[in-house]
Amino acid sequence: MITTSFCELIQALKVSMAETNTSNKSSRQVRYIHSFADRVKRFPGLARRATWKVGKDDPRRVVHSLKVGIALTLVSLLYLMEPLFKGIGKNAMWAVMTVVVVMEFTVGATLCKGLNRGLGTLLAGSLAFLIEYVADAPGRIFRAVFIGVSVFMLGAITTYVRFIPYIKKNYDYGVLIFLLTFNLITVSSYRIDNVWSIAKDRMSTIAIGCGLCLVMSLLVFPNWSGEDLHNNTISKLEGLANSIEVCVMKYFYDSAKQASEDDSSEDPIYEGYKAVLDSKAIDETLALQASWEPRYSRYCHRIPWHQYARVGAALRHFSYTVVALHGCLQSEIQTPKSIRALYKDSCIRLGEEVSKVLRELANSTRNNRQFSRETLSNNLNEALKDLDNALKSQPQLVLGSRNGGTPNTPVRHPVEEESRNSLSSVKNDCFSPRGCKSKEHSREMPKKVLRPQLSKTAIISLEFSEALPFAAFTSLLVEMVAKLDHVMDEVEELGRMGHFREFKDEIVVTCEKPKINIAHNDLPSYGAE
C-alpha cells in the first residue's frame, strides 16, 4: 500500500514538473516573440536614423552614391543598346564589373585601382600572346607543356614579387590582375581558337569601365585624398590642443573626478587624442592614394604627401604624453587642492602655450604658410621658466612640509584637512591598532585628517606620497614641451618641402579658453572665466 502511494506521488511530481517545464518553455517562447516583434517594430526608425546620420556626418557620401549609380547606368548601355552589344557582345559585362570594383570614394583610390587594373591587364595580355605565339609553332604536345611551365613560372614569380614591400604597398592590385588575366588568356588559348578576339573585347571593355570611372571621379564633384589628409592633419593638431587645455583646466578646477564618472567616449579630452592614436592606417592609406592624384602646389611642385604621414607619426608619439596627462585626472590619489593652487597659474600658462603652439601649427598648415619657430620657442621657454621659478619658490612642499614649515613641524590649513583624499584614510587606518580596513570600507568613511599620535616620519612620508601625483603632472607637462619640438620639426619640414609662404610678423595667434563647468571650491578664480 505504501509502495503504491509512493509511486503515485512520484508520478504526480513528474507530471507537475513536465507541466512546469512546458509552461516555462511557452513563456520563454512568448517573450521571444514579443521581443522579436518589438525589434521589427523599431527597425524602420533605427534604419531611418542610421541612414540620416551617415549622410549628415559626410554629405559627400550621398554624392558618391549618386555618381556610382550614374556610372553603372552608363556602362550598362553597352549591354542594353543593341548596336553597342553587337560590337562588344557578352564581354560588355566586364565593363560593369570594372566599374563596381574600381569606383572608389576618392580620386586617388580610383586612380590607384583603375591604373593598376588597366596596366596589369595590358601587360598580361601582351605576355600571354607572346607565349601563345612561341608555343604554337612546334606542335600541340609541346604547346601544352610550354603553357603549363609558363603558368607555373609566372605564377610563382608573380606571387613572390607581391611580398616585396614597395610592390605590396603600391602595385599589389595590379600584380593580382596581371596574374589573373595571364592565366585566363593562356589557359583558354589551348582550347579556344578565337582567344585573341575574346581577349581584345575584354581588354576594351575593361578600358571603357576604367575610363568611365576616372571621368566620373575627376570631373564630377571630385573627392581628393590629399585634401582629406590635409584636413585630418589640421583637425588632429587642433584636437590635441583642445585636449591639453581642457585637461589642465579640469585638473585645477574640478573638485570631483568627473572624467572617471562620465563615459570616456563623450569626454572631449579622450576624443581629442583618440583621433590621433587611431590615425596611423588612415594616414598611410590617404598618403598613398594622394600620391596618385595629379595635384600640385602653387609653384607647380609636387605636394609631399608622405611628409603629412610623418607629421601624423610625430603627433601620435606626442599624444602618448597627453594620454598620461589625462590619467592624472583619473588617479585615485590626488594632491590636495591647496597645494595645486600654489602652482596653478604657472601650469595653466604652460598648458596654454603648448595649445597655442599646436594651433599655430594647424593654422600654418591650413593656410600653407610657414610659422615663426623662434617666437613659439621663446613663449614656451618663458612658460617653462615661470613654472621652474614657482617650483623653486616652494621646495619644501615636495620634501614633506608645507607653507615654510620644517619637516619636523608640519603645518595644517583647514582647506588641506577638508581636501584629504583616500590615501590619507587608508594610511590612517593602517597605522591604527585595528590594522588596515578593506578598500570598500575606507571609501565609506568620511574624509579624515592625520591623527596626532602618528610619528613625524609617518607624517612626512604621507605628505610626500600626496605630492607625488602633482609631481607626475608637472613632469608630464615638461615632457610634453620636449616632445612638441619633434612635432615642430616635422611641420617645419612639411612647409619647406611644400614651398609654403614665408611667415609674416603681423600674423597673431589667438587662443580661446574652453568653457568648463567650474565647481565651487576654495581655489582662486584665475582662468575660470
pLDDT at 490: 93
Hey, what amino acid is at 466?
A: E
| Cβ-contact 416, 402 below 8 angstroms | yes
| Cβ-contact 485, 354 below 8 angstroms | no
Q: Is residue 89 predicted with pLDDT exceeding 80?
A: no
Phi, psi for residue 470 in degrees, rounded to 5: -70, -35
Outline where 58-139 has alpha helix (H).
Answer: 60-80, 82-88, 92-102, 107-135
The pTM for the full model equals 0.73
C-alpha distances in Å from residue 106, one per residue of 190, 290, 348: 41, 9, 42
- Cell 523599431 -> residue: 42
Instruction: Band the pLDDT of 69: cuts 50, 70, 90.
Output: very high
| Cβ-contact 128, 182 below 8 angstroms | yes
| Cβ-contact 433, 486 below 8 angstroms | no
Instruction: Band the pLDDT of 191: cuts 50, 70, 90.
Output: confident
The mean pLDDT value of the chain amounts to 76
pLDDT at 412: 42
Spatial CA neighbour of 357 closest among 514, 509, 515: 509
| Cβ-contact 154, 182 below 8 angstroms | yes
Q: How far apart are CA 82 and CA 344, in angstroms?
A: 80
Q: How far apart are CA 172 and CA 162, in angstroms?
A: 6
- Residue 411: burial class (beta carbons within 10 Å; 0-12, 13-18, 19+): exposed
Q: Residues of the chain with pLDDT > 70: what percent?
A: 71
- Residue 505: burial class (beta carbons within 10 Å; 0-12, 13-18, 19+): exposed
pLDDT at 464: 60
Q: Is residue 2 predicted with pLDDT exceeding 60?
A: no
Residues ≥6 apart with Cβ < 8 Å to 239: 271, 272, 273, 275, 276
Q: Is residue 406 predicted with pLDDT exceeding 50?
A: no
Most confident of 130-134, 195-199, 289-293: 289-293
pLDDT at 441: 40
Average pLDDT over residues 185-202: 77
| Cβ-contact 344, 252 below 8 angstroms | yes
- Cell 575593361 -> residue: 206
Q: How far apart are CA 364 and CA 387, in angstroms?
A: 28
- How far is residue 180 CA from its own chain's centroid? 35
pLDDT at 238: 93
How many CB atoms are closer than 10 A to CB 33?
10
Average pLDDT over residues 449-466: 47
- Cell 608637472 -> residue: 474
Q: Is residue 232 predicted with pLDDT exceeding 90?
A: yes
Q: What is the DSSP letter of 515?
A: P
Most confident of 266-275, 371-380, 479-488: 479-488
pLDDT at 335: 78
pLDDT at 234: 94
Give SS3 for 523.
coil
pLDDT at 407: 37
C-alpha distances in Å from residue 398, one per residue of 66, 266, 267, 343, 461: 65, 35, 31, 12, 10
Average pLDDT over residues 236-260: 78
C-alpha distances in Å from residue 246, one per residue of 183, 350, 401: 60, 13, 30
Phi, psi for residue 284 in degrees, rounded to 5: -65, -40
pLDDT at 153: 92
Average pLDDT over residues 192-204: 76
| Cβ-contact 213, 222 below 8 angstroms | no
Q: How far apart are CA 348 and CA 249, in angstroms?
A: 7
- pLDDT tens track for 116-160: 998 998 898 888 888 877 776 667 777 788 888 889 999 999 999
Least confident window among 103-112, 202-211, 326-335, 378-387:
326-335
| Cβ-contact 255, 519 below 8 angstroms | yes
Spatial CA neighbour of 398 closest among 464, 307, 470: 464
How many CB atoms are closer than 10 A to CB 428?
21
Q: How far apart are CA 424 and CA 335, in angstroms?
A: 11
pLDDT at 237: 94
- Residue 244: burial class (beta carbons within 10 Å; 0-12, 13-18, 19+): buried
- pLDDT tens track for 463-513: 566 678 888 888 899 999 999 999 999 999 999 998 888 877 644 444 444
Outline where 298-343 has alpha helix (H).
Answer: 305-329, 337-342
pLDDT at 450: 38
Instruction: Band the pLDDT of 17: cuts 50, 70, 90.
Output: low
Q: Is residue 398 predicted with pLDDT exceeding 60?
A: no
Sequence length of the chain is 529
Residues ≥6 apart with Cβ < 8 Å to 170: 288
Spatial CA neighbour of 183 closest among 106, 128, 237: 128
Q: How far apart are CA 296 and CA 120, in angstroms?
A: 27
Hey, what amino acid is at 127?
A: L
pLDDT at 448: 36
pLDDT at 21: 63
